[in-house]
Amino acid sequence: MKKIITKILKYFGYTIQKIAKEDDPFKDVLESSAFEEFFQKTEGMISLEEATLLYELAKNTLDHCIVEVGSYRGRSTVALGRGSLDGGMVPVYAIDPHEEFTGILGGSFGPADRGAFFQTMLATSCYHVVRLINLSSEQLSPNWNQKISLLWIDGDHSYEGVKRDFDCWLPHLTLGTFIAFDDSKDPKLGPYRLIEELLETGKFDKVREVGKISVLKFVY
Ligand SMILES: C[S@@+](CC[C@H](N)C(=O)[O-])C[C@H]1O[C@@H](n2cnc3c(N)ncnc32)[C@H](O)[C@@H]1O
């Protein structure tokens, strides 16, 4: 009899515990493990090493917000989102119109990427902190009212495109803001030229390089 009661209690105890856990909206966040597992669930254009850099930068961002320009199917967004979840839980604004677009390197993008993006946010629980904004920087930035602690630019890599995106967000940066650029090492691409110009102003220091990403810090 005792055995049966113990079994029943055990059964209910297990069930109660399980229900409590399932009711917790952040259960999947709290169960967060190594970032690489999340990376494997993504499709995108940066390597694990580059994504880990973004993850670490986001994890160390404890105030204001993170802005990403160019989300595609959500790979870098997951790096930023998981970093935020494991760090200060600051909002991550993912800015990408997800309209037909051909990049300077020949990549073609469009609305199908929006669907993949949503799926990736669900599969990685990043929707807890990621806010997708389906517009481009110039439509959005004039009315923006939040300071940005981390800016990741991976949209249009033409010089005019990357400069436009950077100039849109510049008024919203604060001293100490990190700005990470993808495709920053190829002299034929816009980010390389823009970074050279920014370093010449003396207002930015280059603080990290990983793969094709360069990270500047706003110092003056
Ligand atoms: C190279 S992909 C981004 C890759 C993504 N960051 C990743 O980790 O895989 C470039 C993206 O920039 C987007 N894009 C192009 N022009 C843009 C703009 N003005 N503002 C924001 N995103 C833009 C494209 O729609 C495309 O999804």
Atom nearest to 113 CA in ligand 1: 27
Residues 25 and 42 in one domain: no
- Whether 181 lines ligand 1, by a CB cut-off of 6 Å, is no
Residues 154 and 60 in one domain: yes
Instruction: Tell me the two tokens of residue 19.
Output: 């229900």
Residues 36 and 115 in one domain: yes
Residues 26 and 117 in one domain: no
Residues 109 and 41 in one domain: yes
- Whether 156 lines ligand 1, by a CB cut-off of 6 Å, is yes
Parent domain of 10: 1-31
CA 2 – CA 164 distance, rounded (Å): 74
What CATH number should be reported for the domain holding residue 212?
3.40.50.150
Residues 95 and 126 in one domain: yes
Q: Please give the chain's pLDDT, 220 residues, in tens.
A: 545 554 554 454 443 334 344 555 444 444 445 899 999 999 999 999 999 999 999 999 999 999 999 999 999 999 999 999 999 999 999 999 999 999 999 999 999 999 999 999 999 999 999 999 999 999 999 999 999 999 999 999 999 999 999 999 999 999 999 999 999 999 999 999 999 999 999 999 999 999 999 999 999 8
CA 184 – CA 194 distance, rounded (Å): 9
- For the chain, what is the domain count? 2
Nearest-5° Cα angle at 71, 58 to 133: 95
Residues 58 and 78 in one domain: yes
